[in-house]
């Protein structure tokens, strides 16, 4: 129940931040003809589920969560649930936009290219979430931001450079597509376990210049 | 009965070491942590909220362990942080809806009462109201779940006198009606002297002195403090403020020399 309440806080946040509407609608609209779907999907994941950490950091939301009677594992679970919710929301929006435009413009609805591109986006997105979340939950946004950006860029480049290869893989028999999704889910579960371990041990210091916390630990 | 007990607490922080031999807050008491910047007030609050973990020592709230029983403790604890982490774009009503489900003792009646007292409109957006209104709203949220202990960090910073009075009255009322205990952190000896039942002077992470305010005259007897000549009604308060100021200066100097 607590996890659900925390998850709902994130959902309420999502719908009360105006610029988030832009970040959701723009990638969804790009799905109308199937171009840049995977890239738009990945950018959306960077701006929305991960962007929520940025918003929380600006508002010093740690102070709010720290005062609420919730366990740390609940907070981590709620964050992962929110990321999955964001993915489902975008997939549903992209499928809907593509279908509507397809019907309106008399084009093939949910063409194979579009679905393949969306699948690539989904895989890249899951990998990004799985790598970025434990980092942010361990170090906090300010310290993890550069590393997460690097992960995002790498994901973006790999997607751009090897997107075609991935696309070919997704055109292999059904079993391989399922295998890839299964692998991604396993990666996500491992990431969740690691994030949980990190976050339970995390201490919320006031913002101090990098290195000061490590110096304090060394003295101890 | 003590609502808060700290024993032999030690914690290395990035810029200083927190070291508190012993400290208590009694049920129904208004305790004040008086200290300048980087004296450890914020760190103590974070340790109480289980956001930092002690290197050594024991923290008990309501007789419970601050780490193992943190969920139960937080049900009975109210927190008004200097930066409370509220969503800037949200209306006050939405913020209340976000926080309310987490507390089993939430009382809408109390929430409404303080909303009226502080003249707050639930339809306002949190980020667009002034700092005083923000602080009053967070205090309303904290009081609405009927905490036994309220932690309040610099509540009167840059606040008009009338609002300071209103907040102080609300706290006093809860203290008398429901036996609320308050632990307030401040850098102002004046605020401390006006409100405190007990005073805890911090400097550089060390707790230099804990005393009930009734013993203020005794402790400051040897110190030089200037009695201000003001109207007789305020004479007692003015004296107490001057004594607290002198005591604070004295112990801060001791802390510096250490």
Instruction: Report DSSP letters for B200-248, one per residue.
Output: EEEETTEEEEEEEGGGHHHHTTTS--PPP---HHHHHHHHHHHHHHHHH
Which of A5-9, A131-135, A161-165, A170-174 has the weakest average pLDDT?
A170-174
Alpha-carbon distance of A216 to B13, in angstroms, equals 6
Average pLDDT, chain B: 84
The Cα B237–Cα B14 span in angstroms is: 38
pLDDT recorded at residue A176: 62
CA atoms within 13 A on the CB side of A79: 26
**Which tens digits make up the pLDDT trace of B149-162?**
999 988 887 788 88
Report yes or no: A21 at the B interface, CB cutoff 8 Å. no
Instruction: Please name every residue paired with B17 in a beta bridge, in sequence order, or none if there are none.
Output: B12
Look at residue A183 and tell me whether its pLDDT is greater than 60.
yes
**pLDDT per position as a tens digit, A40-65:** 888 888 888 888 888 888 888 888 89
Please state, rounded to an integer, the average pLDDT across all residues of chain A. 80
The residue in chain B having the minimum alpha-carbon distance to the alpha carbon of residue A217 is B12
Which chain A residues are closer than 8 Å to B50 by Cβ? 66
Nearest chain B Cα distance for residue A12, angstroms: 8
Backbone angles phi, psi at B154, to 5 degrees: 45, 60
Q: Note the pLDDT of residue A209.
A: 47
pLDDT digits (tens, 9 = 90+) for B83-99: 888 888 888 999 999 99
From the list A8, A13, A220, which residue is nearest B12 (CB)? A220
Q: What is the pLDDT of residue A215?
A: 56
Residue B130 Cα distances to A13, B137, B158, angstroms: 21, 11, 11
Q: What is the pLDDT of residues B125-149, one digit of tens each?
A: 988 888 889 999 999 999 999 999 9
CA atoms of B56 and B236, how far apart (whole Å):
41
Confidence of residue A175 (pLDDT cuts 50, 70, 90): low
At residue A16 the predicted structure's pLDDT band, cuts being 50, 70 and 90, is: confident
Cβ contact A12–B42 (<8 Å): no
- List B residues 196-235 in contact with A (Cβ-Cβ < 8 A): none
Nearest neighbour of A59 by CB, restricted to B85, B99, B101: B85
Cβ contacts of residue B153 below 8 Å, gap of 6+?
Answer: B41, B42, B45, B80, B81, B82, B184, B185
pLDDT at A166: 61
Taking CB atoms and an 8 Å limit, are B83 and A16 in contact across chains? no
Name which of B52, B73, B84 is nearest A64 (Cβ-Cβ): B84
The predicted model gives A202-216 an average pLDDT of 63
Distance, CA of A115 to CA of A170 (rounded, Å): 9
Question: Which chain A residues contact residue B14 at CB under 8 A?
Answer: 205, 208, 212-213, 215-216
Interchain proximity A69–B98, CB inside 8 Å: no
| Percent helix, strand and coil across chain B, each to the nearest 5 | 45, 25, 35
pLDDT band at B100, cuts 50/70/90? Answer: very high
Q: How confident is the model at residue A39 (pLDDT cuts 50, 70, 90)?
A: confident
Reported confidence tier of residue A203, pLDDT bands at 50, 70, 90: confident
Which of residues B17 and A17 earns the better pLDDT score? B17
Q: Which of A208-212, B55-59, B66-70, B215-219 has the least mean pLDDT?
A: A208-212
CB count within 10 Å of CB B117 equals 15
Beta strands in chain B, from DSSP E residues, in sequence order: 2-12, 17-26, 30-34, 56-61, 64-65, 77-80, 149-153, 181-186, 198-203, 206-212
Are A120 and A170 within 8 A, CB to CB? yes
| Nearest CB to A13; choose among B78, B87, B102 | B87
pLDDT confidence band for A218 (50 / 70 / 90): low
B84 shares contact with chain A (CB less than 8 Å): yes
- pLDDT computed for residue A79 by the predictor: 92
| Position B75 pLDDT exceeds 60 | yes
pLDDT reading at A216 higher than 70:
no
DSSP 8-state class, residue B197: S
The string of DSSP letters for A72-99 reads: HHHHHHHHHHHHHHHHHHHHHHHHHHHH
CATH number of B2-71+149-155+183-257: 3.40.50.300
Q: Which residues contact A125 (CB under 8 A, 6 or more apart)?
A: A41, A42, A45, A87
Token digits for B205?
């992470």
Asked if A119 contacts A177 with a C-beta cutoff of 8 angstroms, the reply is yes
Whether this model's pTM surpasses 0.95? no
Q: How far apart are CA A7 and CA A3, in angstroms?
A: 6
Distance from CA of A124 to the nearest CA of B (A): 30
Q: What residue ranges in chain A does DSSP mark as E strands?
A: none
């Amino acid at each position: 129940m607590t996890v659900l309440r925390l998850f709902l806080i994130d959902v309420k946040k999502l719908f009360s931040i105006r610029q988030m509407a832009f970040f959701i609608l723009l990638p969804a609209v790009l799905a109308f003809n199937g171009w840049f779907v995977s890239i738009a999907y990945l950018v959306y994941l960077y701006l929305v589920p991960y962007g929520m950490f940025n918003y929380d950091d600006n508002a010093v939301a740690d102070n709010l969560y720290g005062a609420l009677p919730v366990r740390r594992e609940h907070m981590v679970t709620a964050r992962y649930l929110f990321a999955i919710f964001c993915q489902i929301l975008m997939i549903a929006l992209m499928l809907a936009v593509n279908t509507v435009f397809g019907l309106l413009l008399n084009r093939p609805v949910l063409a194979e290219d579009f679905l393949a591109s969306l699948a690539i986006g989904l895989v890249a997105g899951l990998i990004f979430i799985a790598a970025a979340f434990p980092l942010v939950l361990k170090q906090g946004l300010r310290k993890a931001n550069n590393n997460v950006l690097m992960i995002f860029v790498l994901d973006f480049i790999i997607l751009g450079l090897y997107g075609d290869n991935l696309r070919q893989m997704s055109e292999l028999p059904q079993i391989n597509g399922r295998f890839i999704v299964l692998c991604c889910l396993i990666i996500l579960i491992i990431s969740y376990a690691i994030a949980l371990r990190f976050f339970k041990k995390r201490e919320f210091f006031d913002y101090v210049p990098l290195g000061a916390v490590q110096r304090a630990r060394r003295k101890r | 009965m003590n609502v808060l007990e700290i024993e032999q607490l030690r914690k290395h922080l990035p810029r200083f070491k927190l070291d508190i031999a012993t400290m208590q807050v009694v049920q129904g008491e208004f305790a004040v942590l008086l200290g300048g910047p980087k004296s450890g007030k914020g760190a103590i609050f974070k340790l109480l909220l289980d956001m930092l973990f002690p290197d050594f020592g024991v923290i008990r709230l309501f007789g419970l362990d601050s780490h193992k029983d943190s969920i139960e403790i937080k049900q009975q604890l109210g927190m008004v942080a200097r930066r409370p982490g509220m969503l800037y774009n949200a209306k006050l009503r939405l913020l209340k809806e976000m926080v309310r489900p987490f507390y089993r003792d939430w009382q809408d009646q109390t929430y409404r009462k303080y909303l009226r007292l502080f003249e707050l409109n639930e339809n306002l957006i949190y980020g667009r109201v002034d700092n005083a209104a923000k602080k009053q709203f967070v205090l309303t949220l904290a009081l609405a779940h009927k905490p036994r202990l309220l932690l309040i960090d610099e509540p009167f910073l840059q606040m008009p006198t009338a609002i300071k009075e209103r907040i102080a009255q609300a706290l006093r009322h809860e203290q008398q009606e429901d036996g609320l205990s308050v632990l307030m952190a401040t850098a102002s000896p004046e605020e401390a002297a006006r409100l405190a039942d007990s005073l805890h002077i911090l400097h550089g992470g060390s707790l230099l002195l804990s005393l009930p305010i009734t013993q203020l005259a005794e402790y400051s007897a040897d110190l030089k403090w200037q009695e201000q000549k003001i109207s007789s009604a305020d004479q007692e308060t003015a004296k107490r403020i001057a004594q607290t100021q002198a005591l604070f200066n004295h112990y801060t100097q001791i802390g510096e020399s250490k």
